[in-house]
Amino acid sequence: MGKTFVRRVLSGELGTPKKVVVMSRDEAKQHYMRMEYLHKSSATDEVIYRNSQNTLEFRIGDVRNYGDVCAALKNIDIVINAAALKQVPTCEYFPQQAVLTNCEGASNITRALREHDYPIETVLGISTDKACKPVNVMGMTKAIQERIFISANIYSPKTRFICVRYGNVLASRGSVIPLFHDQILKGGPVTITNPDMTRFLLSLNQAVDTVFAALKYAKAGEVFVPIAPSANIMNLAKALIGDRKIEIAITGNRPGEKLHEIMASEDEVQRCRRAGDYYALQPMLPELWGDAANDESALSGEYSSGNDVLDLPGTIELLRRNKLMLEQVPTQAAGEELLR
């Protein structure tokens, strides 16, 4: 998501940015991304030496480190916090690490604004449908991240703190579609945890669209949720397998997995407004309700991936539209590059 977001911001569709700063602790990803934007095919001295003079600037740092966060926030207008430990089983086995990235990282951002009074216009936290009625560590820590940002509106009122919450991003790193591609190319079997499982599915560009919509229209403390299609995991596997003689194996739920994901709970829909192609969930804190507190809710019940599920033809169409069918990926190497 971060790479697609940066590309679209630099394209000028929201206006021409003076500077875009990317902070992460992964020097390899930064290196390859830097070379791509400088149109270089091999590393040269100027790739790093002119870093701070470029519109796109890279910083090595860790959201867990308060000093790194403070240094990165100087002279910044908008902050997008996409840092996360997001693999559900990994977070179950290493919950302390999930807390450090997903909770302490967000806390470092809000603390920096409180203690240094940085004139930042907006802070946006990227959350997940797993934060709604969470049953796993990843969702629990992301739910706390949402609350950290929402409550910051009270203590740093000069800054607008908002969040976006969305489901699985099609072909994102570590997601199910790259796994299915790899298993099919190797002759199977394709492994499914539970044939009844459903998930909300968005493209990378739709994820970025959600961020852009929230930046434009979200009120302080709101969580923007896209109105997105959902699919059955079994249909997803069948769509990708097609006519190939590939076995499907059922392996059972992984640690912390839900059968269906929820974008908005029955409690949250009581404070929900429609904003174009999105639902805006208003905060629990009454200080942030504003004039919309008594408006009629845009949702009458829980917004679950199990409610309106695409059939098999609809799932195939969704994958074709996003160029994720195997025949649309020329080679395995090209497919891996696409998925990166």
- Residue 212, domain CATH: 3.40.50.720
- Those residues whose C-beta lies under 8 Å from the C-beta of residue 115, and which sit 6 or more positions away, are none
Q: Domain range spanning residue 212? A: 77-339
How far apart, in whole angstroms, are the C-alpha atoms of residue 106 and residue 84?
A: 10
> Quick one: which of 174, 205, 182 has its CA closest to 340?
174
- What parts of the chain have a pLDDT lower than 70? 40-49, 174, 291-295, 329-340
Q: What is the pLDDT of residue 125?
A: 98
Is 12 within the bounds of a domain? no
Is 239 within the bounds of a domain? yes
Q: Residue 301 — φ and ψ, nearest 5°? A: -155, 175
Is 125 within the bounds of a domain? yes
Q: What is the pLDDT of residue 330?
A: 60
DSSP state of 253: P
Question: Alpha helix locations (H) across 38-175?
Answer: 45-49, 66-73, 88-93, 95-98, 105-116, 137-155
Q: Residue 117 — φ and ψ, nearest 5°? A: 55, 40
Question: Alpha helix locations (H) across 118-203?
Answer: 137-155, 176-185
Query: Two tokens at 160?
Result: 């607008």
Q: What is the pLDDT of residue 79?
A: 98
Is 300 within the bounds of a domain? yes
Is 48 within the bounds of a domain? no
Q: How many domains does the chain have?
A: 1
- Those residues whose C-beta lies under 8 Å from the C-beta of residue 110, and which sit 6 or more positions away, are 123, 148, 149, 152, 155, 156, 161
Q: What is the pLDDT of residue 62?
A: 97
Active site residues: 130
Is 252 within the bounds of a domain? yes
Is 57 within the bounds of a domain? no
- 272-275 and 190-192 strand pairing: unpaired
Query: Two tokens at 48?
Result: 């790093």
- Those residues whose C-beta lies under 8 Å from the C-beta of residue 154, and which sit 6 or more positions away, are 285, 287, 288
- 160-166 and 168-169 strand pairing: unpaired
Hey, how many other C-beta atoms are within 10 angstroms of the C-beta on 168?
23
Is 159 within the bounds of a domain? yes
What's the number of CA atoms in the CB half-sphere (13 Å) around residue 78?
Answer: 17
